[in-house]
Amino acid sequence: MKKIHIFQTILIMMAMIISVSCKPKEPTDLAKASIIPKPVTVSATGEAFTLNSKTAIFVDAGSDELTRTGQYLADKLNASTGLTIVVNEAQTEPGKGSIFLTLSGADQSLGEEGYLLTVTKQQVKLSAANPAGLFMGVQTIRQITARDSVSGKPGPFRIATGTITDHPDYSYRGMMLDVSRHFFGVEDVKQVIEYLAFYKINMFHMHLSDDQGWRIEIKSWPNLTAHGGSTQVGGGQGGFYTQEQYSDIVKFAADRYITVVPEIDMPGHTNAALSSYPELNCNGKAPDLYTGTDVGFSSLCTKKEITYTFIDDVVREISALTPGPFFHIGGDESHATKVEDYIPFINRVQDIVAKYGKRVIGWDEIALSTLKPNSVAQCWASEENAIKAIAQGAKILMSPAKKAYIDMQYDKSTPLGLHWAAYIEVDDGYNWDPASYIPGVGKENIIGVEAPMWTETITKLDDIEYMMFPRLPGIAEIGWTPVSMRNWDEYKFRLAQHAKFFEEMDINYYKSPRVPW
Ligand code: TNX
């Protein structure tokens, strides 16, 4: 009798445990959603919109651009939910069960990239003043679509109800990829761009030339790639993008509201070009290709006229393929160029870039020259140069190596990366404010923030992922979310929740001990 009683009790307890664990964990509190970057305002209404076989996406009728963004959302949601959501053009106001992307009636103060997301039990409505804003809002929808069952079976998927009003703090939120030290093919680059989109990064800076390799076809100077693109750090095969491939990357990025910023580094970091064309050297002799990792030993011959013909051709050809406003001229670590040669060189190159309708960005050393007021100094090392740049009316792009360099090792034990600037753990990379980092350089001087990924030690996509994740989401939040709303002790829990996205996207990420995964 007693035994039976105990047995019954155990059974009841087991049933209770099972019923508790099978109970849907309803994501009905929008305020608790782990969105990165953190939106400006979120208000929750405590219910949920359910995605099911009847869910459909609607976009304003007559816009291929909105249909494309709608399809992008459908593809992403279908991949994660297993549903087959389709995209329709809205002839009338769509009703129950719809996810509606619209530009009509939006508050213009949302700006270029802002959006308003209103979720009720009946409908998800995303509105924005511009298509870019809708795309940003789509990323939020992706991040708040949650599986509400813990039974292990797919779905049902839900979106918690409430309202999000959101817009970025800085207009330039970027990542740089060095494709020169090690070359990365078009598919790898597109994968990186896809990751950037998820975190609302809107600028992709491609470091297309350096001592170790020239990576973009220039039709008027074909040996740059034929010879100069033929190897890489360590002596491996190298590679380059044809103009068609580069345009394909630019288009892939543009479809995700990401602007490509091409960089041709000069006058230093030019051994690959110097090795391809002897006439670019002051002594007329082409050096051998270089596959080491030293810096500061090469220079275009600043006194030869052919150098400027060369630069004109390169800037002209690349600018013609680049719809974005910027052309990055490098300008860093020109230790092999005398400063009295460097200054007039940079001045003249700024004119060439202006001639092709582009705005100059250069590493902070360009502030030694006479900057055009619309030029941008990318601050990586020298605070003095940053001050010099703003004194000339130029703007600053913040990439301080001690904080924003995602090629730095996380700590002594992490296998990839360098540490000349710092070891940058995930919290170090998050805990800084671009607008108070350099005394005298305030928010009004800064266009935004960028995380450079130099690739001396990075040889494959897996390595890029390991260095990007989970630091890149932090840079994205620094660029998007006002500093007053940022706090590591709160962010780290949101970041931990993103492990599920990393896993879904098959990202090789660093499981930092500082993040409560
Ligand atoms: C410095 S940062 C460089 C690059 C290296 C990088 C490695 C900058 C403008 N120049 O040439 O790749 O350090 O972290």
- Report the first-to-last Cα separation within the chain, whole angstroms: 47
Distance between Cα 352 and ligand 1 center (Å): 25
Q: Closest ligand 1 atom to the C-alpha of 380?
A: 2
pLDDT for the residue numbered 464: 98
Give the residue whose CA is nearest to atom 4 of ligand 1: 454
Give the residue whose CA is nearest to atom 5 of ligand 1: 454
Quote the CA–CA distance of 282 and 500 in Å, as a whole number.
55
Q: Closest ligand 1 atom to the C-alpha of 363?
A: 9
Give the SS3 label for residue 453. Answer: strand
Domain coordinates in residue numbering, the chain: 24-166, 172-485+496-504
Q: Closest ligand 1 atom to the C-alpha of 454?
A: 12
Superfamily of domain 172-485+496-504: Glycosidases (3.20.20.80)
Distance between Cα 455 and ligand 1 center (Å): 9
Pocket of ligand 1 (CB under 6 A): 295, 332-333, 363, 380, 405, 407, 418, 454, 456
The domain over range 24-166 is classified in CATH as 3.30.379.10: yes
Structure tokens at 491: 């962010």
Distance between Cα 409 and ligand 1 center (Å): 14
Distance between Cα 10 and ligand 1 center (Å): 64
Q: Are 177 and 189 in contact (CB under 8 A)?
A: yes
Quote the CA–CA distance of 477 and 494 in Å, as a whole number.
11
Q: Which residues of 25-36 are buried (b: 16+ CB within 10 A; e: fewer)?
A: eebbbbeebbbb
Catalytic residues, by residue number, are: 333
Q: Enumerate residues 6+ apart whose C-beta is below 8 A from 70.
A: 57, 58, 59, 87, 101
Instruction: Spell out the per-residue pLDDT of the chain, length 517, in tens.
Output: 455 566 666 555 555 544 444 444 556 899 999 999 999 999 999 999 999 999 999 999 999 999 999 999 999 999 989 999 999 999 999 999 999 999 999 999 999 999 999 999 999 999 999 999 999 999 999 999 987 655 555 568 999 999 999 999 999 999 999 999 999 999 999 999 999 999 999 999 999 999 999 999 999 999 999 999 999 999 999 999 999 999 999 999 999 999 999 999 999 999 999 999 999 999 999 999 999 999 999 999 999 999 999 999 999 999 999 999 999 999 999 999 999 999 999 999 999 999 999 999 999 999 999 999 999 999 999 999 999 999 999 999 999 999 999 999 999 999 999 999 999 999 999 999 999 999 999 999 999 999 999 999 999 999 999 999 999 999 999 999 999 999 999 999 999 999 999 999 999 999 999 999 9
Q: Are 124 and 97 in contact (CB under 8 A)?
A: no
